[in-house]
Amino acid sequence: MLKKLLLALCIGGLSSSAVAAESGATPVAGATVTPAAAQMVRQAVKNLSANVQVDSIEAAPIPGFYQVIAAGQMIYVSTDGKYLMHGDVIDLSRRQNVSDSAWSRFRKDELAKVPASQRIVFAPPHPKYTISVFTDVNCGFCRALHEHMAAFNKEGIAVEYLAWPREGLTTTAGRPTPTYTEMVSVWCASDRKAAFTAAKEGHAPPPATCANPVKDQFNLGLKLGVTGTPMIIGPDGSELGGYVTPEQLLQALQKGS
């Protein structure tokens, strides 16, 4: 959907009237914007694609721009409404990707809204670190990652799984995808952890339905920029990669702490 937005930009660009200049003031990087400015940015994006959901707007580290997260992508909209940019922003003096820090804040805040009761959790008695993992029960790398669970827990790492069926929620015919159906059955099992591990080993759970978070978690993944599984997110919201060994994961967590 965002690709359509960017295509529209290439064809015609944002109209100068889409977002009015905000009193000539330069927003402070990372600061939230005024309600009026936020509404103007949302309108600018809506003018390009009415179906794109804007999830976050704050002042960008680039003077004169807002940093916007929409449809699982980060874009930059100028405060005068004339320009839209898509891509990473690098602070050359610090040699840091400042887009990453904004993504981390956003992911951390959004994941905090997901109750532990809606996740499938494998944790040691006293975790040193807790990671969130968007997963699919049938993907090879997801299964390989889960094989290390005892080693992760031994290193003090708690793993909290969220559902992200890679096939999506429905087929082109509008029917539930097989993986979505299987993951619903896992989340609805009387022993979710046992059903989850069995599914990772190729043993599909008995069909079951209930009130479940699979659809919501899939949509959350899209919102957070998930494009494949597994996707590991650290305690601070940073992306720690896909398949990693226990040693690699522990090093990444220690580096970020």
129-159 pLDDT tens trace: 999 999 999 999 999 999 999 999 999 999 9
In a shared domain, residues 80 and 125: no
In a shared domain, residues 161 and 124: yes
Residue 212 amino acid letter: N
Percent of the chain clearing pLDDT 70 (strictly above): 87
| Confidence tier at 257 by pLDDT (50, 70, 90) | low
The predicted pLDDT at position 24 comes to 40
What whole-number distance in Å separates Cα of residue 166 and Cα of residue 221? Answer: 11
Q: How far does the chain reach from its first CA to its final CA, in angstroms?
A: 35
Q: What is the mean pLDDT of residues 30-45?
A: 83
In a domain, 44, yes or no: yes
Q: Cα dist. 105→15, 38, 183 in Å?
A: 30, 18, 28
Domain's final residue, options 103, 129, 156 = 103
The predicted pLDDT at position 98 comes to 86
In a domain, 21, yes or no: yes
In a domain, 111, yes or no: no
The verdict on whether omega for the bond into residue 115 sits within 30 degrees of 0, i.e. cis, is no
| pLDDT over 60 at 14, yes or no | no
Residue-wise pLDDT tens digits, 157-175: 999 999 999 999 999 999 9
In a shared domain, residues 231 and 130: yes
Domain's final residue, options 79, 103, 127 = 103
Q: What angle do CA 143, 145, 146 make, to 5 degrees?
A: 65
* Domain of residue 35, residue span: 2-103
In a shared domain, residues 32 and 128: no
pTM for the model? 0.85
| Mean predicted lDDT score pLDDT of the chain | 88
In a shared domain, residues 155 and 89: no
The predicted pLDDT at position 207 comes to 96
In a shared domain, residues 143 and 38: no
Between 49 and 128, the higher pLDDT residue: 128
Nearest Cα neighbor of 136 from 159, 168, 104 is 168
User: What is the CATH number for 128?
Assistant: 3.40.30.10
What whole-number distance in Å separates Cα of residue 165 and Cα of residue 187? Answer: 12
